Amino acid sequence: MRSVTSIDVAKLAGVSQSAVSRAFSSSASISDRTRQKVLAAAAALGYRPNRIPSIMLSGRSCMVGVVIGGLDNPFYASALERLAIALRQAELQVLLVQVDDALTLDTALDQLASYRIDAIVTSLAVGSKSVADALSELQTPVICFNSSLVGPWISTVVSNNYGAGQTAAGIFLKQGVTNPVWLAGPAKNAASRARAEGFCDTLKRASGHSGALIKLRGDDTYQSGYNAVRRLLQRGVRPDGIFSSNDMMACGVLDALRERGELHCPDDVIVVGYDNIPQAAWHGYDLTSFDQRTDQMVAVAMDMLDTALQTVDHPYSETRLINAQLIERGSTRPGN
Amino acid sequence: MRSVTSIDVAKLAGVSQSAVSRAFSSSASISDRTRQKVLAAAAALGYRPNRIPSIMLSGRSCMVGVVIGGLDNPFYASALERLAIALRQAELQVLLVQVDDALTLDTALDQLASYRIDAIVTSLAVGSKSVADALSELQTPVICFNSSLVGPWISTVVSNNYGAGQTAAGIFLKQGVTNPVWLAGPAKNAASRARAEGFCDTLKRASGHSGALIKLRGDDTYQSGYNAVRRLLQRGVRPDGIFSSNDMMACGVLDALRERGELHCPDDVIVVGYDNIPQAAWHGYDLTSFDQRTDQMVAVAMDMLDTALQTVDHPYSETRLINAQLIERGSTRPGN
DNA sequence: TTGTAAGCGTTATCAT
DNA sequence: ATGATAACGCTTACAA
């Protein structure tokens, strides 16, 4: 079934092909009479303008490659949703690429490049040098969320992870925490490392906590947070403050505490997470957390994207920092 | 910056443009020598084949429009991720469209059509007649998850909602529930309605429960489940079994029960959800639920997609039912 | 196996 | 305001 073309419409309407084109373009000079004729013919034939040829002519596809992974984390799912909305409003299409590892990323990039996407947006937490190189090679603007990637075509909007770490430490100091625990995410996660630095630096500077700080390693999943605290308690350690690199793990932490029953949050131990996922607000957790303000981050990303798309031909690179917002909930309010 | 074309490569390699084309096509007759020359030249220039022209020629874009919404529900997020993986393996691109209402869907469909996508896959729970009409008009294969949409170009893979409702009722009967509660999703959600029917029919048939069944209405969010049960308890009602149309609401139910403290799950009241989202397995909830087996559903959808893409020109329509799998957890195991 | 040339469905340019 | 014509970058007959 050959689809209906502008030639067909032109023939039926008794006008030229260019008239059809103009009828569907808002910024063209065409008489109302002609436009009506064209639209009527188009409707009769069920014609829909085909954007593919115009991509060839303009070199711009108005498609943006969105590279994601880990949608099981509600934070990324929600970020994707907001981003998709923003891109739609900017009249850009989303070419979605799901990636679990660097390998799939490589082939995915080839695919994206062959579709002549105008830019790439990614929230991948990974930040290896090779990935950055692969991205730069595309000569296509790349906007990252929370990554440590650097390169000529790469721009980044990052949450102020270090600052949030400091704020978390401030809470711990104010509440007189003496046995703090840091629950880290994967080692390769740059955001997690920055949170750790802000947290540890501040605690260290404030007093003799330096030696006391216990560092656990998780992988950003609920189960890893649960396991980490379970093991800690089994070893007989009694922390009175836990800062988790993300909310998923923090939920695991809270469940492990509750199940074990020795230490109660927030009276015996306070807990702080990161991301402010919906579950943090659930009554069963009531978790203090840092909101990354994805709406702001997305807005900034769109702004950068705008600039990058105008500065075509020239590698554009910028980094912008967004302060996370502390959302205090019950998990840091003892005596309630 | 004009991008590198096959003409450039041909010139450098000292071959014709068709030779370049053949070098990048696996099913073309070309000598190894020529291919090497071409590949070398391509690498030197950083040439990447452009798929856009071939879309024009073949009329197939190898892009599938994926229409989603409600990613804040982990079930949909996970379904999207699985679908994206399956599509990538089938070498199909994902053109993502985020939709919150019928209005955005309409404009979104126009966009999709103008990019000449080969098919549409959607997990939208809505199923209005007008949406179905709009989809059919595209003359493009549509694969739906869990929808009640019908139309010449529309195929559907549905969870056996009715059967799962029956199974849930079976649990209630076995446990001797006398004050059952059904917590419904939005009225427009066909899946939710089917679950209700299977559940109610079975209870009714079994005994005198018919009159006793309390029906509450939620909107598939955590908060609506929480509120519904809170109000119920405040009214002095004491249910001993609650079947929730989805897990998000069921988590709200469990938190409301726990917070109120009068009725304990599972000893005083058992709770069953639907979707088997990750949170159902969290230790804080330990919620019995129905797993829709999205892996199977996605596999079936891909199978249908395959058929639909081969049967181009002819409207293809089919409906396939997948049995949900009961995952029994603590919320239905009293006396543990 | 290789090269030549036509064509895919638009939009932009240039006359009229 | 309108119509003719030339691109856009590739694939695919067809010819050699």
B4 touches chain A (CB under 8 A): no
B36/B33 Cα distance (integer angstroms): 5
Mutual angle of helices A161-174 and A190-206, in 10-degree steps? 40
| Average pLDDT, rounded, for chain A | 93
CA distance B148 to A82: 27
Using the structure, give the distance in angstroms from the CA atom of B2 to the C1' atom of C13, rounded to a whole number. 20
Confidence of residue B240 (pLDDT cuts 50, 70, 90): very high
| B188/A170: higher pLDDT | A170
Q: What is the pLDDT of residue A104?
A: 78
What mean pLDDT do residues B132-147 have?
89
Q: Which residue is nearest to nucleotide D10 (CA to C1')?
A: B53
- Whole-number Cα distances in Å, B155 to B76, B135, B304, B313, B317: 19, 11, 8, 15, 5
**A-proximal residues of B, 21-40, CB under 8 Å:** none
What would the pLDDT profile of B160-210 be if each residue is shown by its tens digit?
Answer: 999 999 999 999 999 999 999 999 999 989 999 999 999 999 999 987 545
Confidence class of residue B127 from pLDDT cuts 50, 70 and 90? Answer: low
Q: Which residue of B has its CA nearest to A223?
A: B282
Residue pLDDT, tens place only, B37-57: 999 999 999 999 999 999 999
SS3 of residue A309 by DSSP: helix
CB pairs under 8 A between A and B: 147
The CA–C1' separation of A36 and D1, in angstroms, is: 14
pLDDT above 60: residue A209: no
**CA at A221, C1' at D12: how many angstroms apart?**
52
Task: Say if B306 is an interface residue toward chain A (CB within 8 Å).
Answer: no
Residue type, B74: P
Share of chain B above pLDDT 90, in %: 82
> What would you measure as the largest C-alpha separation in chain A, in angstroms?
87
Contact residues on chain A for B77, CB-CB shorter than 8 A: 71-72, 74, 77
* Joined tokens for residue A121: 């947006």
pLDDT single digits (tens) A5-56: 999 999 999 999 999 999 999 888 899 999 999 999 999 999 999 999 999 9
Distance from CA of residue B201 to its chain's centroid?
26
Q: Chain C: nucleotides under 7 Å from a protein CB?
A: 1-5, 7-13
Domains of chain B: 6-50 (1.10.260.40), 60-159+293-322 (3.40.50.2300), 161-291 (3.40.50.2300)
Q: Is the pLDDT of residue B2 over 90?
A: no
Those nucleotides of strand D lying less than 7 Å from any protein Cβ are 1-5, 7-13
Q: What average pLDDT does the segment B2-15 reach?
A: 94
User: Can you give the pLDDT at residue A335?
Assistant: 81
pLDDT digit string, tens, across residues A99-150: 987 777 888 888 899 999 999 999 886 667 788 888 888 889 999 999 888 8
CA triple A18-A20-A22, angle to 5 deg: 70
What confidence category does residue A278 fall into, taking pLDDT thresholds of 50, 70 and 90? very high
User: What is the reported pLDDT for A127?
Assistant: 66
Task: Specify burial of residue A9 (Cβ count, 10 A radius: 0-12, 13-18, 19+).
Answer: buried
134-163 of B, contacting A, C-beta below 8 A: 137, 139
Enumerate the β-bridge partners of residue B64.
Answer: B94, B119
The per-residue pLDDT for range B61-83, each reduced to its tens digit, is 999 999 999 999 999 999 999 99
